[in-house]
Structure 1
């Protein structure tokens, strides 16, 4: 049994191997033994001899044809293989071959350098290996560039985390004359003290937002047949230290501020003070060490502290699980309405808030529930859903707190003189949410020790509930 060194095909006979090499690997290197035609395939050469040299065609048969067996003829492939590889001309000057194809002398036929089939195979293999090596090097270089790009995009490069970004922001303020050097050192020391404690300094917090919304809806927006509000929730906005990447952390702080006020969850929260962003990063790393979401841990190389890495639904889920709080991720993975809208998302949120009034046959127009807000994620940003409106015509509107809103803008919700204008930035109708995909993290109770271990085990392959 013979094995082709190029493609690995196994062939019984040497003659068949020659034909295989000719037709599968070398046929484009053939040339006419009777004239200067070259660079053609076997079939093209066979046709050429028949049309250009008809008087010399005797003995050259097409594939699968033979002369009288008693004459021990050479078939067409064998003969042309012999012409192509073993001299590219007649066997002897001035004499005919065994099949009588040609009586032309060697000197009258263009000659090529004689190369053995083994040499051709070695050269071909070497060229193939060199091309493969070059291709792999180019792919590796492209992968490195893409990885660096992703690191920069998701804050996993070496630019530093919250602390370093805050320092650079203050350094620029000093350079522009907006801050004195003494102020810089004072604020830097203040920041380091806050970070060392692990607690948020509260500079970006606005309290009483949901209570202000409740007061507003008691007298305004009479076109709403129902308004649902979550439990009281503080608003946390991005600061100079996390601008551009901290929305997930700030939304977690909003969720946590609500859980502290809900009797079901408050006893399970060890710390009553709000953790800082670096502390939240440390909490996620500890959750990974518990065995939660090993795939996500691998994505971040098991490190968040000192980076500007974005977090999303899965990190919120494992944070809550590590705290003994039950949560679920619902994935609205495609639009379900006209114009790339997501009416199924709005319907799902309505059912979430409606659960608090199912016992009432005629639920009141304004319902301030004890439910936690919902974490809403889409590509590049996240927000908190703290309520929903249902209009008389049946249309639905989400009420969102956005970490991108500044403290000054958010505090306009607290004043009766400005809330009617400021609330426009809180309302989001279906036409305003047109990203391809949204994910919601919903809190749904507490976990027993056994349930927590089951959730940790199941998170090895963390899956969301897909709707639809």
Structure 2
């Protein structure tokens, strides 16, 4: 039995659930052509027009989504195959509405034969090139996990006006921007979120404003949520709404019972997963991975005793921490690149900023730069070998060692062009192949929590496994934490950061 996450209705079959979502939720965003009322059902819209505009509508009823003036004669086939209208004006970012100069598709491709078309009135009034994409990966989750990718949570590209409904497609789209930037065709300020769009707080407010405009959030609730958000940000502590705990324990239970084709499995110390939220979608992966790393360091005695703050900071607080580290003299070149300002921006951070944060906290960080592929088909086997040596420092392979090895080592920060993730483990298969276990901030909290359930763990773990063939970017960087700095060592690192260099392999 399946339960609709929107209205709670229980439905037996998956196909019936998809039809229910299409007919009772995704179609119910009609708007009045005479006054702009939106977020009502078809019947409510009919009543509104006849009562509020008795002279203007002249006896005409609003057209139903398939183009007819009445629903009584709709066939069962037309209900499932028609083209539904989708009013995106309420969900569009106000920033995007003001600056629109490029062409885009106005169809939301849900599956073959089904699309959501922006109304003609919207095109005439706003001319906003919003592009909605449907994730084929999520489509397979519909088939096997009954998880429908509903286009209510729209993800704006941080560098243009396009909007996506899937974080994976957004990531691929952003990487195309990065390729253009390498060719010198992209503005660096927009590229790195330094064009004054307001940062985490303003993006969260825009998200709530869109929810109010679309009818998903009442105005009174908006002000309440905004006040709560401001209070949390003032405290500097992450609210934990996107955090998932118990992942390493869940992986331990899984490997003890399943996956017998692994000769060895190494897991890091306990680490929480932090997923991107509405306030940092599209640019906050570096900050979220730092939160993951810090959550693990707090659980390791060697590092927890050296850390003064015992809580995980929110993203604006992390931005202030980096600015404070710059004031100490760390990485002056990086500070100049960001104009010494991260707070109230949507600036991306990378391995260098993670190193700066670790050093300012008195921890010994190390950047390893795999600057070019070292294997066939643009793969990086030396990166996998390095990770194995990190989790298993013994140079001699011992076949008598246990299959599952729980280490007390913190996870690794993994950076590539446009995105970053956290390495929490490594598999070695019977054929000798190595496989990284990665926690991705782009993965939602609901998807990550499937690892905690034995019934869904076998499927969910496929999304955190990454073999060499999956890592084909030209360059990767790892950041490892390897001890605590003395005060003298910290001063030396501050001085040497004036010409910060990574360890290059090969």
TM range (shorter): 0.5 to 0.7
- Equivalences for 1:408-427 in 2 at 5 Å? 408-427=446-465
Contact preservation (8 Å) 1:204, 1:238: yes
Q: Determine which of 495, 498, 503 is the counterpart of 1:457.
A: 495
Residue matched to 1:277 = 315
The TM-score, its normalising length taken from structure 2, stands at 0.63
Alpha-carbon distance in structure 1 between the residues aligned to 2:186 and 2:438: 34
> Aligned-pair RMSD on alpha carbons?
1.6
Alpha-carbon distance in structure 2 between the residues aligned to 1:163 and 1:284: 18
Greater radius of gyration (CA): 1
Alpha-carbon distance in structure 1 between the residues aligned to 2:245 and 2:274: 9
Report deviation, 1:270.
1.0
Contact preservation (8 Å) 1:148, 1:157: no
Contact preservation (8 Å) 1:356, 1:369: no
Higher helix share: 1
Alpha-carbon distance in structure 1 between the residues aligned to 2:279 and 2:383: 33
Report deviation, 1:158.
1.5
The TM-score, its normalising length taken from structure 1, stands at 0.68
- Equivalences for 1:68-467 in 2 at 5 Å? 149-355=187-393, 362-467=400-505
Three-state SS of the structure 1 residue aligned to 2:266 is strand
Residue matched to 1:115 = none
Alpha-carbon distance in structure 2 between the residues aligned to 1:421 and 1:340: 28
Three-state SS of the structure 2 residue aligned to 1:265 is helix
Alpha-carbon distance in structure 2 between the residues aligned to 1:203 and 1:362: 42
Report deviation, 1:359.
10
Q: Residue by residue, what CA displacement relative to the aligned partner does 1:327-361 show, whole Å, maximum 9, x if unpaired?
A: 11000000011110000000000000002797977
Residue matched to 2:101 = none
Contact preservation (8 Å) 1:293, 1:461: yes
Report deviation, 1:410.
0.3
Q: In the comparison of the two structures, how many residue pairs are matched?
A: 324
Structure 2 unaligned segments of length 5 or more: list them. 1-183
1:361–1:264 distance in 2 versus 1, CA, 3 Å: farther
Alpha-carbon distance in structure 2 between the residues aligned to 1:359 and 1:183: 59
Residue matched to 2:91 = none
Three-state SS of the structure 1 residue aligned to 2:454 is coil
- Equivalences for 1:48-67 in 2 at 5 Å? none
Alpha-carbon distance in structure 2 between the residues aligned to 1:197 and 1:152: 29
Three-state SS of the structure 2 residue aligned to 1:329 is strand
Following TM superposition, the consecutive aligned residue runs of length 4 or more in structure 1 with deviations greater than 6 angstroms are 356-361
Contact preservation (8 Å) 1:376, 1:440: yes
1:172–1:437 distance in 2 versus 1, CA, 3 Å: same
Report deviation, 1:362.
2.8
Structure 1 unaligned segments of length 5 or more: list them. 1-145
1:462–1:382 distance in 2 versus 1, CA, 3 Å: same
Alpha-carbon distance in structure 1 between the residues aligned to 2:265 and 2:331: 36
Report deviation, 1:271.
1.1
Report deviation, 1:446.
0.4
Report deviation, 1:269.
1.1
1:320–1:358 distance in 2 versus 1, CA, 3 Å: farther
Q: Residue by residue, what CA displacement relative to the aligned partner does 1:420-452 show, whole Å, maximum 9, x if unpaired?
A: 000000100000000000000011000000000
1:356–1:375 distance in 2 versus 1, CA, 3 Å: farther
Alpha-carbon distance in structure 1 between the residues aligned to 2:268 and 2:347: 29
- Equivalences for 1:34-53 in 2 at 5 Å? none
Residue matched to 2:62 = none
Report deviation, 1:464.
0.3
Report deviation, 1:148.
8.2
Report deviation, 1:195.
0.2
